[in-house]
């Protein structure tokens, strides 16, 4: 008796290198099992599937060892964020505010605490 199979993909990307690996796996395979079977760690030094965040089509899966894959799905292995997005946005907003004030023609004439009448 033959085992039923499904077609899936495993994707991982770094800024300088991206890879999508198509696989045919047994029905009932989990995200984690599919990632291991893809042997993607052989292509990316430092990638640890035990600790990596994984998901399917941009939806993070809390427990990839339990989530069963479906036909046509893609396991996505996510890199950790280098910067906190909220902090990066605050820094950009502060810089934009500073740039806006520095371009004002009145800036050189006014000091902190001065008022225009």
Q: What's the pTM? A: 0.69
- Residue 51: pLDDT above 60? yes
Residue 10 neighbours by CB under 8 Å, 6+ apart: 20, 21, 23, 34, 35, 38, 40, 74, 75, 77
Bridge partners (DSSP) listed for residue 75? 10, 56
3-state DSSP of 63-83: CCCCCECCCCCEEEEECCCCC
Would you list the domain boundaries of the chain? 5-78
- Residue 1: pLDDT above 70? no
- Residue 52: pLDDT above 90? yes
CATH number belonging to the domain at 5-78, selected among 3.60.9.10, 3.10.20.90, 3.30.1300.10, 3.40.470.10: 3.10.20.90
H or E stretch at 104: none
- Residue 92: pLDDT above 90? no
Residue 90 in 3-state DSSP? helix
Query: What is d(CA 49, CA 39) in angstroms, rounded to the nearest whole number?
Result: 10
């Amino acid at each position: 008796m033959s085992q039923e199979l499904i077609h899936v993909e495993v994707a991982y990307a770094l800024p300088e290198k991206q890879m999508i690996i198509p696989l045919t796996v047994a029905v009932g395979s989990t995200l984690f099992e599919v990632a291991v079977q893809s042997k993607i760690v052989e292509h990316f030094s430092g990638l640890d599937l035990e600790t990596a965040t994984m998901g399917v089509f941009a939806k993070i899966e809390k427990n990839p060892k339990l989530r069963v894959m479906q036909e046509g799905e893609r396991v996505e292995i996510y890199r950790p964020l280098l910067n906190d997005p909220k902090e990066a946005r605050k820094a950009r907003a502060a810089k934009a505010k500073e740039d806006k004030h520095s371009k004002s023609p009145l800036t050189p004439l006014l000091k902190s605490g001065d008022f225009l009448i």
